[in-house]
Structure 1
Amino acid sequence: MLDHPAVEDIDLTTILAALGDPIRLAILGDLARSTGTALCCADFRELTSKSNLTYHIARMREAGIVHVEPSGTRRLISLRRADIDSRFPGVLDAIIANAIALPSPFGPEGCGLQ
């Protein structure tokens, strides 16, 4: 089981620091485009190497931005939008508005899992 910060432990400066990286910002944009569908790590493989991607997803999980759910050999990644919005209303929308303007190297189909 992976550790995720509790809602009350999500910190704005940690979120902003995590999203200061262009790869993580691109991941956020693609998660926002997926409109609630969990994506797999493999869906982001065109952004960077597998080991580097694992690092970026872990930083986002530790910051409370994403929830990572092991599913067999996959890890499903979803945005913790409701949790972040409850702590910092409107902040995520402003960040996402800029993140989704970034081009995505892959479509919103994700793993095909709903």
Structure 2
Amino acid sequence: MAQRDRTTGSHRAAPEHTHPDDVPVQTALAALADPVRLALVRELAGSDDWSRSCGSFDVPVGKAALSHHFAVLRGAGIVEQRDEGPKRVNRLRTEEFEGRFPGLLGLVLRADGRA
């Protein structure tokens, strides 16, 4: 029984999250300024909450860089992640982020990036 629990349990620590209320505007803007992170946010915006695993995104970076980009987005209060079995799934914190920075997410989600 103990072996089974070890193999089904997570081999990594749960991700730490920053609430958008604790994020300075410069941190949010810096997180959203990177093209890879912007692509991740845009893909998440078009997906149901918790439906996208980290490996399901079409971005031109390796696994380590992708992990870094998600850590930046978590630290800026933009995404939330949780582990489901061997996968880490994501949701865009739209409501919380909008409460902290009204209109910002809508601006960056526009395809052309213009107001």
TM (norm. structure 2) is 0.77
1:98 CA drift (Å): 3.3
1:49 aligns with 2:67: no
Quick one: percent identity of the two aligned structures?
35
Q: How many residues align?
A: 100
Q: Partners of 1:48 and 1:27 in 2: how far apart?
A: 11
3-state SS, counterpart of residue 29 of structure 1: helix
Relative contact order higher in (CA < 8 Å, ≥ 6 apart): 1
Letter in structure 2 aligned against 1:34: S
Specify every segment of 5 or more residues in structure 1 that has no aligned partner in the other structure, as ranges: 101-114
Q: Which residue of 1 aligns with 2:47?
A: 34
Q: For residues 59-103 of structure 1, give each alpha carbon's deviation from its aligned partner in whole angstroms, at most 9, with x where no partner exists.
A: 111111100111111000110101111111111111111379xxx
Q: How does 1:15-94 map to 2 (within 5 A)?
A: 15-44=28-57, 46-94=59-107
Q: Which has the larger radius of gyration?
A: 2
Aligned-residue RMSD, C-alpha: 1.9
